[in-house]
Amino acid sequence: MNTQEWSAGQPVRLDLDGLRGELAASPGAARLRSLDLGRVIEGDDALDELARAVAEFPRSCAGVVVLAAATPMTVADRDLQAEATEVLGRGFGVDWVTLGPPDGQVHADEATVAAACQAARGAGCVVTIGSGTITDIGKAAAGQGTPLVVVQTATSVNGYADPFSVLLHHGVKRTSPSRWPDTLLVDPAILCAAPAELNRAGVGDLVSMFTSTADWYLAGAVGADPSYDQAVARLSRRHGARLLALAASLAGGQDAEPGSSVMTSVGTGTAAEPLLGGSGGSSPPVSTGAEALPGGLVGSSPPVSSAAEALPWDPMGSSPWVSAGAEALSGGSGRSSPRASTAALGELARILTLSGIAMGVAGSTAPSSGMEHAISHLLEMTDTARGRHGSYHGTKVGVASIVAAATWAHVRRRIGEGALDRPARIPDPDQARDRISQAFTEIDASGAMAAECFADYARKLAVLAAGSDPLASLRKGWEGHNAALGEMLASPAELAAALGLAGLPVRFAALPDPVSDGEARWAVANCALLRNRFGVADLAMLLGCWEDDDVDEVLADAAVLAGQRSGHQR
Ligand SMILES: [Zn+2]
């Protein structure tokens, strides 16, 4: 990787064709899945392109099904549902399907997914308008043969541009293969209208890159995950410095240079030609996957250069969603600067898109989902089981990333003290089964959650027990592995600082929907038991350094950092 090329000062661009070429030329190309995200439409007024994006698919004449949550969405005083229905209704039959309860809190559970599948049956095109959960449901509901257009409404998660859906099975969050969207539509005006807190959650979801890529590398090194690919790990981790720089800019609230915009990046060639002789009028930049993608950066406004470091995140300059969670957040500058805020959100959306693409081509969420996500998933399962809304996914992932980074520091310290010189302690399956059922008994007395988790965990144990020594490769070349890990990891202090500057909480107890110390400890201690994915907590268990004292030590380390932050932020 050319680190110069991906410095903190360089705005992120999206060039799907360039990416395809880069991945095709990488050493592991033969193993990678194809990047089948057809097209990204981004830029101001991209929503105006919705009808044309849908009309690109001849089958759309059979009728368009729009999937959305009940949350009313207002963008610059315009009602998004009314507008989308009107625009689409000029050319197609439109069936607007509201998923989930009236309060808009949709869960991707079996019943909701079944309702979406039923609604999408026979549709000529499925459109999702919503955040991560709606998108995941839409990807699951629109079969492979049905065109899918995804309208991203917030920078909340990295799951818009990948072929997976996080769905609930018996109350347990599971990532299931679904499909890529054919078209991803990102209109910064829509992003700006989302609750600032929801948008910031995307920063939390993305800081996972500092620990998840290390977990994935580790899983590859111990032979637990053959999908590990260096080029994809680097793609996932590539914009880490930029992400931290953007996060820091939120607190400063500085304006970008006048006239600068990263959101005016457009495609080339046919971009301005009507794709379908549609509504005409002022067309926003559009590009196709086969031609130029927004990375082409042709157009009247050049991308910002170093000025983008100072892009503010100004929630005060945007209209909130009309929803319960739409309170303004602290930390904004208070000045109205929608253009600059738009640019920051647009760039964050691009990093999220690239993160999704990394998972998609890897055929696994592993590039972005390590220990920190396992902790967050456990907390989410607890919330669901107890009927609580819980904090946003990315907000929890951010806090959990600090703990995962502290776990990495703990494990590397123990290895430095000789932990790799001892025989591996592979957990006994029967003890693991008991431990898992104990862990879940409080939130699910039926035992279904525990059974679901153990079924997955047992597969991981079987792989670890198959060879003579699961730590053999680490013992042999620890120095090299440690150096490689060091390039991916950030210190817990760095993560806490970035999250704090972005106005995000750094302690579980400080989450908008606070998690008690006991619950947080439960999730951290048991996160390795959730699923068949090897991460740093599994390594800690093999090394014999994931006992109660170790968990307490890691949590104490993380709390110290959080305490240091709390003097400045929260
Ligand atoms: Zn996530």
pLDDT in tens, 7-25: 777 889 999 999 999 999 9
The rounded Å distance from CA 212 to ligand 1 centre is: 10
| Distance in Å, CA 527 to ligand 1 centroid | 15
Taking the centre of ligand 1 as the mean of its atom positions, its distance from the CA of residue 195, in whole angstroms, is: 18
> Can you tell me the mean pLDDT for 371-397?
91
| Tens-place pLDDT, residues 257-271 | 322 222 222 222 222
Cα 377 to ligand 1 centre (Å): 9
Q: Is the torsion defined by CA of 44, 41, 308, 562 positive or negative?
A: positive
Q: Is the dihedral of CA 409, 414, 417, 419 positive or negative?
A: negative
Q: How many helices (DSSP H) and strands (DSSP E) are in the chain? A: 20, 10
Between the CA of 369 and the centroid of ligand 1 the distance, in Å, is 7
Joined together, the tokens standing for residue 433 give: 């089964």
Which residues fall inside 5 Å of ion ligand 1, going by CB? 205
For residue range 457-479, list pLDDT tens digits in order. 999 999 999 988 999 999 999 99
DSSP state of 26: S
Distance 222 CA to ligand 1 centre (A): 24
3-state secondary structure 493-510: HHHHHHHHHCCCCCCHHH
Residue bearing the bigger pLDDT, 443 or 398:
398
134-180 confidence digits (pLDDT tens): 999 999 999 888 999 999 999 999 999 999 999 988 877 788 999 99
First to last CA, the chain: 36
Is the CB of residue 456 less than 8 Å from the CB of residue 440? no
Question: Residue 393 Cα, ligand 1 centroid: separation in angstroms?
Answer: 6
d(CA 520, CA 334): 34
Cα(394) to centroid of ligand 1, in Å? 6
Q: Which amino acid would we find at residue 278? A: G
Residue from 425, 22, 330, 360 nearest 163 by CA = 360
- Measured distance CA(561)–CA(402) in Å, rounded: 9
Distance in Å, CA 136 to ligand 1 centroid? 12
What CA–CA distance (Å, rounded) separates 496 from 405? 10
Answer yes or no: is pLDDT of 330 > 80.
Answer: no
**Average pLDDT value for the chain:** 82
Cα–ligand 1 centroid distance for 201 (angstroms): 9
Nearest to 237 by CA among 351, 156, 154: 351
Q: What is the pTM of this model?
A: 0.82
Query: What is the per-residue pLDDT for 269?
Result: 27
